[in-house]
Amino acid sequence: MARADYLFTSESVSEGHPDKVCDKISDAILDAFLAGDPVSRVACETLVTTNKIVLAGEVRGPEPLVSASGVVNVAEIAQIARGVVKEIGYEQDGFHWRDCDVEVLLHGQSPDIAMGVDASGNKDEGAGDQGIMFGYACTETDVLMPAPIHYSHAILRTMAEARRGGTEPGLRPDSKSQVTLRYHNGKPVGAASVVVSTQHAEGLSQNDVREIVRPYVTAALPEGWMCPEDEFYVNPTGQFIVGGPDGDAGLTGRKIIVDTYGGAAPHGGGAFSGKDPTKVDRSAAYAARYLAKNVVAAGLAERCTIQLAYAIGVSKPLSVYVNTHETGQVDEDKLSDALRQLMDLSPRGIREHLRLNRPIYARSAAYGHFGRKVAADGGFSWEDTDLVGDLRAAFS
């Protein structure tokens, strides 16, 4: 039997966190390739440290980014990376968009991988790798996301908007948040504690930063949910001046729980950023979220977890698992069959249904891939609830 009363915690990290700098650079490079050729193949990994950016991985795409023989345009790729760092706001001695060294080690895609993924003859496009992917949705928030991760993201997102807009000149790019919520009868009812650590300008005291941060926390949480004062922690170490890649190295794909559901649902293990839509680590995770969200939005369950499994080079999913956690209004096996009917879950089917072969990814690198608004250009298309009518009709 599930516990009814408990505490649950999730964290978020800002766009200036070293790992998120890497995610955003990798996704900006992916966007550049897809803008030039929607069937580009990209697997871009980024490492950052003090005044250094290293890019590695495999690509196949348009000139001038890469030649037909697979030679990468190093200058063009390096300029994209610098542009991301500038947009985030790093202009400090140990990490400056203009002065940092950018090493580009990208190369052409492996022909063995291309053979397994590409469609040819009677063979449909296969998955870019084996793996398992999960999607989740619940009724805890209006965007059908778990509440702790939703509010953790909101705190940092609004702080970053204020920093970039000039409202909070004392804040710097690197920050983290952590929200612990109290659950009663399985529903979130308030914050037990909130932790925010944020890089800041020299000369600001711990209390100065605390009062800068406070309104963003209270605005992010529902009215009356603020934690007790002695459970509100801001920069617990005392100060946070040296931050970003100068303070800690970063890598693409190290914040997979931040990217998804904050630990409230399973994760298959694969990261998202820097991967084109043939990589089911990304596209199938988006499809699973899309289906789970539509199930909950249709009123067929209060919670829904969906797992998809794939083999490299094989187009069909090996399994489709649906769990409504004893909140479902319909039979789970019938629900699984209905979802398969409503969406082609092959890599090609997912890509076409969600229109994923577009330059829509850099914006997803920070503050979560899920629970976001569908953009006019199709960004976050996996957050759409356009299957609700069909699902309700299937079980009317």
Cα–Cα dist 370/295, whole Å: 15
194 phi/psi in degrees, rounded to 5: -140, 135
Q: Which of 160, 198, 191, 118 is nearest to 366 (CA)?
A: 160
Q: Is 219 a catalytic residue?
A: no
Find all residues with CB under 8 Å of 311, minimum gap 6, and list them.
Answer: 127, 130, 318
**Which residue out of 17, 150, 172, 282 is catalytically annotated?**
17
Q: Is 176 a catalytic residue?
A: yes
Q: Is 123 a catalytic residue?
A: no
Q: Is 279 a catalytic residue?
A: yes
Q: Which of 160, 162, 197 is nearest to 178 (CA)?
A: 197
Q: Is 154 a catalytic residue?
A: no
Q: Is 45 a catalytic residue?
A: yes
Question: Which amino acids are annotated as binding site for ATP, given as ranges?
Answer: 17, 174-176, 248, 254-255, 271, 275
State the virtual CA torsion across 324, 325, 331, 337 in degrees, nearest 10: 40
Cα–Cα dist 332/231, whole Å: 41
Give the 3-state secondary structure percentages of the chain, helix then strand then coil, rounded to 5. Answer: 35, 25, 40
6 phi/psi in degrees, rounded to 5: -165, 175
β-partners of residue 58 are 43, 107
365 phi/psi in degrees, rounded to 5: -70, -25
**Which residue out of 95, 240, 272, 370 is catalytically annotated?**
240
Q: Is 281 a catalytic residue?
A: yes
13 phi/psi in degrees, rounded to 5: -130, 150
Chain Cα centroid distance, residue 19: 12
**Which residue out of 24, 41, 279, 282 is catalytically annotated?**
279
Question: Which amino acids are annotated as binding site for K(+), given as ranges?
Answer: 45
**Which residue out of 214, 254, 267, 348 is catalytically annotated?**
254
- E strand intervals along 82-148: 91-92, 95-96, 101-108, 131-138
Q: Is 153 a catalytic residue?
A: no
Q: Is 20 a catalytic residue?
A: yes
Question: Which amino acids are annotated as binding site for Mg(2+), given as ranges?
Answer: 19
**Which residue out of 249, 340, 384, 395 is catalytically annotated?**
249
Question: Which amino acids are annotated as binding site for L-methionine, given as ranges?
Answer: 58, 109, 248, 279
Cα–Cα dist 396/394, whole Å: 6
Find all residues with CB under 8 Å of 42, minimum gap 6, and list them.
Answer: 29, 30, 33, 34, 57, 58, 59, 60, 61, 274, 275, 276
Residues with catalytic roles = 17, 19-20, 45, 58, 176, 240, 248-249, 254-255, 275, 279, 281
